[in-house]
């Protein structure tokens, strides 16, 4: 592509949608122009609220994203970008990206930009360049960037590293109580949403999630039991926090630790969406008050730096090593005369196996 990076970044900053769309493609394809433009846009980033939406396939993530975006447009007049990730075929590399089907309410609005992305071999629930997409939208002035992951099962948790606020969407009738105490996706939730809350079994899902939260966040609580006041103390080793009275005006967001609120929605009908938006706003406030916003930002940029460093070191290493030497070491590993760890030492030091043992 002959487009110079200078004009394209200018156009993106001025709000040109075609330039924005083309830049996203260049970055997704790892073109040098895309990389140069990303570097130029970087000083303009750091303003947007990145909201991740994840959950099992069919829980209604796209419908919820559609409604949340509508909410931000109508009640807060904020510009909203949506990055919707769907899986690539592991065999052909092709993909069918169908999240737009649920987002037709958003078309015709210049304050919304929806971009579908194929995961292109990444297994963490988002694509390799999803973070870069979020940066571009941030620089282009989108105040809210919603990132919808692929239908995530249990361990696709990369979104938590990228987003400021992670929403985990559940629906009634998926799995039993034991699913709720496993490690993984529930642990990354800042806000829990039980969608399809008009379906039977919603109480059961809510109870399972509540008890999971109680296990994860042991705080002393005061209960009224048969007319008596009982204080349930924190298990040994947990942080010492003031007890939360059932009738006290202290809300969960007043506390130092964040306990994910559980919101019930019927996304296709727009029910409960304002509550979710309120939970998101409270979480953002909590992040600012506690300084977690800055530390999440720092952790994310640091891991981005490290990933870039790793890639650069790898390509430098391969530029400086002769093919025969490398293949020779691979053969030794395949022949079981050298372990992979010994091979690394040999390649990096240029010294022989005997010297290192």
Partner 1 sequence: MSEHKIRVLVAKPGLDGHDRGAKVVARALRDAGMEVIYTGLRQTPEMIAEAALQEDVDVVGLSILSGAHMALAPRIVELLKANGQDKVKVFIGGIVPDEDMPRLKEMGITGIYGPGASTEDIVKDILEAMK
From 16-24, 51-59, 181-189, 340-348, span contacting partner 1 (CB under 8 A) = 16-24
Q: Using the 8-state DSSP alphabet, how is residue 254 labeled?
A: G
Q: Using the 8-state DSSP alphabet, how is residue 200 labeled?
A: T
Q: Which residues have CB under 8 Å from 83's CB, separation 6+?
A: 115, 117, 130, 133, 134, 137, 145, 146, 147, 148
CB of 179 or CB of 268, closer to partner 1: 268
| ∠ Cα 203 209 215 (to 5°) | 135
**Window 83 to 102, contacts with partner 1 (CB under 8 A):** 88-89, 92-98, 100-101
From 20-28, 132-140, 169-177, 339-347, span contacting partner 1 (CB under 8 A) = 20-28
Least gap, CB of 73 to partner 1 (angstroms): 15
Asked whether position 22 contacts partner 1 by CB under 8 A, the answer is yes
Q: Which residues have CB under 8 Å from 57's CB, separation 6+?
A: 151
CB of 111 or CB of 220, closer to partner 1: 111
**Window 213 to 232, contacts with partner 1 (CB under 8 A):** none
Tokens of 129: 């360049």
**Window 325 to 354, contacts with partner 1 (CB under 8 A):** none
Least gap, CB of 89 to partner 1 (angstroms): 6
Mask for 23-62, x = binds partner 1 (CB under 8 A): -xx---xxxx------------------------------
Q: Convert 269-300 to b/e letters by CB count within 10 Å (16 or more is b).
A: eeebbebbbebbebbbebbeeeeebeebeeeb
Among 85, 89, 108, 99, residue whose Cα is nearest residue 24 = 85
HSE value, Cβ hemisphere, 13 Å, CA-based, for 47: 16
CA separation, residue 52 to residues 4, 81, 166, 271 (Å): 32, 12, 5, 20
**Window 106 to 165, contacts with partner 1 (CB under 8 A):** 107-108, 113-116, 118, 120
Least gap, CB of 107 to partner 1 (angstroms): 4
Least gap, CB of 241 to partner 1 (angstroms): 46
CB of 22 or CB of 296, closer to partner 1: 22
255/234 Cα distance (integer angstroms) = 16
Asked whether position 9 contacts partner 1 by CB under 8 A, the answer is no
Please answer whether residues 236 and 257 qualify as being in contact, where contact means their C-beta atoms are separated by less than 8 angstroms: no
From 103-111, 176-184, 323-331, 346-354, span contacting partner 1 (CB under 8 A) = 103-111
From 21-29, 122-130, 167-175, 267-275, span contacting partner 1 (CB under 8 A) = 21-29
Number of shown-chain residues binding partner 1 (CB under 8 A): 30
HSE value, Cβ hemisphere, 13 Å, CA-based, for 210: 8
Asked whether position 79 contacts partner 1 by CB under 8 A, the answer is no
Chain residues in the site for partner 1 (CB under 8 A) = 17-18, 21-22, 24-25, 29-32, 88-89, 92-98, 100-101, 104, 107-108, 113-116, 118, 120
């Amino acid at each position: 592509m002959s487009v110079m990076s200078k004009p394209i970044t200018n156009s993106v900053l001025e709000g040109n949608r075609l330039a924005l769309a083309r830049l996203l493609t260049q970055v997704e394809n790892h073109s040098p122009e895309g990389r140069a433009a990303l570097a130029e846009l970087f000083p303009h980033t750091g303003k947007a609220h990145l909201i991740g939406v994840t959950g099992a396939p069919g829980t209604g993530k796209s419908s919820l994203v559609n409604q949340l975006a509508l909410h931000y447009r109508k009640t807060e007049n904020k510009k909203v970008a949506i990055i919707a990730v769907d899986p690539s075929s592991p065999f052909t590399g092709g993909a069918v990206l169908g999240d737009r089907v649920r987002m037709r309410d958003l078309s015709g609005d210049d304050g919304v930009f929806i971009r579908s992305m194929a995961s292109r071999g990444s297994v963490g629930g988002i694509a390799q360049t999803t973070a870069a997409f979020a940066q571009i939208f941030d620089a282009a002035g989108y105040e809210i960037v919603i990132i919808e992951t692929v239908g995530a099962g249990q361990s696709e948790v990369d979104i938590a590293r990228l987003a400021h606020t992670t929403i985990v969407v559940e629906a009634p009738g998926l799995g039993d109580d034991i699913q709720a105490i496993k490690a993984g996706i529930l642990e990354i939730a800042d806000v829990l949403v039980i969608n399809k809350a008009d379906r039977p079994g919603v109480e059961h899902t809510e109870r399972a999630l509540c008890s999971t939260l109680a296990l994860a966040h042991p705080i002393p609580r005061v209960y009224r039991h048969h007319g008596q006041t009982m204080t349930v103390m924190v298990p040994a080793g947990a942080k010492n926090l003031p007890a939360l009275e059932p009738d006290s005006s202290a809300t969960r967001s007043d506390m130092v630790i964040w306990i994910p609120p559980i919101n019930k929605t019927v996304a296709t009908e727009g029910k409960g969406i304002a509550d979710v938006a309120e939970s998101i706003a409270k979480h953002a406030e909590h992040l600012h008050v506690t300084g977690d916003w800055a530390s999440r930002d720092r952790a994310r940029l640091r891991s981005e730096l490290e990933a870039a460093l790793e890639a650069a070191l790898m390509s430098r290493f391969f530029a400086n090593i002769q093919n025969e030497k490398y293949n020779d070491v691979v053969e030794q590993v395949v022949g079981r005369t050298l372990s992979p760890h010994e091979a690394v030492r040999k390649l990096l030091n240029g010294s022989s196996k005997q010297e290192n043992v």
